[in-house]
Structure 1
Amino acid sequence: MLWIPFTLMAAFMQAWRNAFQNQLSKEVSTAGVTLSRFIYAPPVAAIYLALLYLFKPAAAPQLSITFVGLVLLAALAQILATALMVVLFRKRNYAIGVGLVKSEAVIAAILGALFFGAALNATAWVGVIIGALAFWLMTNPKSLKAASLDTLLIGLGSGLAFALTTLWVREASLVLGLPFPHGAAWVLLLVLMTQAIVLGGWVAWREPDTLKALLARPGQVLRISVLSCLGSLGWFTAMSLETVALVKTLGQVEVLFTLLISARWFKEQLSLRDLAGLALIVVGAVCVVLA
């Protein structure tokens, strides 16, 4: 049952990371906000891996082409997912943006059932339907005619990219074949290194002023990177022990953390419709877990 505390830790860290990224999104570009979660994270992951080998020695990993491909796919998918999430923050307020991204849990359950042999029963499908209703409530504040299609598509796109990230991360951990928790730690380090190199190089080439802006905010960026690394550590470790659908649906408690942060820190006012949507996301997640 170790996957449960790792998942709760990940949800808590991710809620705070999203809050700081939302704040940074008002000051730098989408690419810069996305890079902020990766720029200082690899050293933290490297220290964690070194401590694991110090206190619990294990074999060195054998890197296959399949493993490298899964790491690359996961790294690129997470970059895309984060960029879409930042765009979403600029379209709606913080809590609703995160709520839309939480479509990740439903999408992961569907993809798992279709392509990873994790079939859904009736209770799980009820959860999927409730989740869909929640997203409709949160993206249509007035009526169907006033539907914000672009907001819905961006939120679902971010959720899809995050879902693919987690599915590929789990597969990479299983392919590596190392004991718990070393496999997840190696995947974490290699994914973060890939993201820092790829996105960091792109930003340095195309948006040098953005890179300067990040380096001018070392404390803010460091907080985001460390929280992101700790959150990913929790997700990757939990998913090496349990299926993605269960981990991500339990991880929906992040919505509750988000509500508290949104109300107390950002002083945002949520409508009854928004609160109903967020509550339904949690109900849908519970249904999938119970299934």
Structure 2
Amino acid sequence: MDLTLLWIPATVIAAAAQTARNTMQHRLTDTLGTIGATQVRFLYGLPFSLVFLVVVLMVGGESLPAFNWRFAAFVAGAAVTQIAATALMLATMQLRSFALSTVYIKTEPLQVAVFGVVVLGDHLSVWGACAVIVATTGVVLMSLKGKGATLAGSGWRPALLGIASGAGFALSSVGFRGALLSLDSGSFVLRATSTLVAGLVLQTIILVVWLLVFKRDVLLAILRSWRSSLLAGCVGAVASQFWYIAFALTATVNVRTLGLLEVLFAQVVSRKVFAQTATGRERLGVGLVLVGVVLLLVSTST
């Protein structure tokens, strides 16, 4: 069976599920705070990822891939950089507006392109590079909203923090792809699911320990709100599952560039759920994202 293009629907599903999870987390922030809502994706996503793993093992009749230290190093690095990237993102948003912070953070696809080539030796064609640049420019335009939302004069500290956050997310994506590629056995679905479980286990442990030491009241609030958090955890686990399936089938930069469809889904959510209207600049940004996506699909199918 030809699986060459399966990464495309996997990425679209992942982007849609991540948009839904972000909407749920946005609502949980009111009761749990930013850190608490962030931990929900790990703590309540872990049980569902374990269910996914059991199902994959039963349906495929396979055994777990053999452990190796290269896999462990990639997972550990990716898990820690993803947590650090989230912390840097929150710090950036405390210094500047959400919109302007997003401009810096959404440089992730550009950085993924660089890290993917350097760390994993992923190939990036000229058209693929153009797709990344065009789509990222579209996201930047969509993020620059309102008066004063320009890069000039925004200050070096939020810029450095935001770009560092984008770098952290880029490194984590490349790291998780490196982890699943380092596994010597198993189908691409099993390797993706095993990597997902390993990453969530480590991230859950790290954040639970941190909350126990510094924010015990937040941890207790997370546990008390399990009913409202389970759905967000489930949807987040589904998103991660399909991200990793896509990572197993193609270069990280392809996945993350097509994954910018998430911002289009977010536009729909903003209009339908939060009754927000799109500006002319946002519409232009949407158009550029779509052009970038088309260029990406053409470059990867030829």
Please report the TM-score for the alignment, with normalisation by the length of structure 2.
Answer: 0.84
Whole-Å Cα distance in 1 between the matches of residues 289 and 83 of structure 2? 24
CA distance in structure 2 between the aligned counterparts of 1:72 and 1:144, rounded to whole angstroms: 34
Structure 1 residues 236 and 84, CA, compared in 2 at 3 Å: closer, same or farther? same
- Give the deviation of 1:88 after TM superposition: 5.7
SS in 1 for 2:32: coil
Deviates more, 1:11-20 or 1:141-150: 141-150
Gaps of 5+ in 1: none
Q: Alignment RMSD, CA only?
A: 2.7
Alignment partner for residue 70 of structure 1, among 50, 74, 89? 74
One of 153, 163, 166 as aligned partner of 1:156 = 163
Match for residue 250 of structure 1 among 254, 258, 271: 258
Question: Does the CA-based 8 Å contact 1:42-1:189 persist in structure 2?
Answer: yes
Q: 1:277 maps to which residue?
A: 285
Residue identity matched to 2:233: S
Q: How many residues align?
A: 290
Q: Is 1:24 the counterpart of 2:28 in the alignment?
A: yes
The answer on whether the counterparts of 1:25 and 1:86 sit within 8 Å (CA) in structure 2 is no
Matched, 1:240 2:248: yes
Q: Equivalents in 1 of 2:253, 2:29: separation in Å?
A: 30
Q: Distance in 2 between matches of 1:243 and 1:63?
A: 23
In structure 1, how many angstroms separate the alpha carbons of the residues matched to 2:271 and 2:159? Answer: 23
Q: Measure how far apart 1:85 and its partner are.
A: 4.2
CA contact (8 A) 1:140 1:146 kept: no
Distance 1:278 1:158 in 2: 23
| Match of residue 4 from structure 1 | 8
Q: Which residue of 1 aligns with 2:113?
A: 109
> How high is the TM-score relative to the length of structure 1?
0.87
Q: How far apart in 2 are the matches of 1:82 and 1:148?
A: 20
| Partner SS, residue 37 of structure 1 | helix
Deviations 1:49-69 (A, max 9, x none): 111111211133221111111
Deviations 1:70-109 (A, max 9, x none): 1111111222233344556665458x86676443222212
Query: SS at the partner of 1:259?
Result: helix
Distance 1:278 1:92 in 2: 21
Rounded Cα–Cα distance in structure 2 between residues aligned with 1:255 and 1:136: 11
Q: CA deviation at 1:240?
A: 0.9
- Higher mean alpha-carbon deviation, 143-152 vs 106-115, is at 143-152
Q: Which runs of 5+ in 2 are unaligned?
A: none
Q: Structure 2 CA distance, aligned partners of 1:154 and 1:26?
A: 25
SS in 1 for 2:42: coil
1:59 maps to 2:63: yes
Shift of 1:37: 0.7
Structure 2 CA distance for partners of 1:259 and 1:209, relative to 1, 3 Å: same
Shift of 1:132: 5.3
Q: Which moved more, 1:194-203 or 1:158-167?
A: 158-167
Distance 1:76 1:286 in 2: 33
